[in-house]
């Protein structure tokens, strides 16, 4: 559920792009990309032009941002981790909370 007459700023990161040539996930590059993407979303939210006056009036106080992930399955497969495994769940938890889990 979301508020009527508001806008949401969505972005997505392609997780497989953070796997290096040795098959290791580049945590530092990922963390940096998350920070840059969220900062960019905040900036674009403050300068965007909205087409409807109702939306433009509510958005500055209710604006939401969402960061999604692409190729989550490909990332787990590249690490030989099934979705429904403790290793897969730990990896996903690390991605979503930015915890360093090995």
DSSP 8-state secondary structure symbol assigned to residue 50: -
Are 9 and 44 in contact by the 8 Å Cβ rule? The answer is: yes
Q: From residue 34, how far is each of 11, 66, 73, 80, 87 by CA, in Å? A: 10, 11, 19, 24, 22
Question: Quick one: pLDDT at residue 85?
Answer: 94
Average pLDDT on 80-88 reads: 91
Indicate whether 38 pLDDT > 60: yes
Residues whose CB is less than 8 angstroms from the CB of residue 16 and which lie 6 or more positions away in sequence, other chains included:
70, 71, 74, 75, 78
Residue 5's CB is within 10 A of a number of other CB atoms, namely: 14
pLDDT at 101: 45
Q: What confidence score (pLDDT) does residue 83 get?
A: 85
């Amino acid at each position: 559920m979301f508020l009527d007459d508001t806008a949401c700023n969505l972005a997505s990161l392609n997780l497989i792009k953070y796997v290096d040539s040795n098959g290791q996930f580049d945590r530092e590059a990922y963390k940096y990309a998350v920070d840059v993407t969220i900062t960019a979303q905040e900036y674009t939210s403050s300068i965007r032009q909205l087409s409807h006056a109702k939306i433009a009036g509510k958005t500055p106080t209710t604006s939401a941002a969402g960061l999604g992930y692409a190729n989550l399955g490909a990332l787990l497969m590249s690490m030989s981790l099934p979705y429904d495994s403790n290793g897969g769940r730990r990896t996903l938890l690390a991605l979503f909370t930015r915890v360093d889990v090995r």
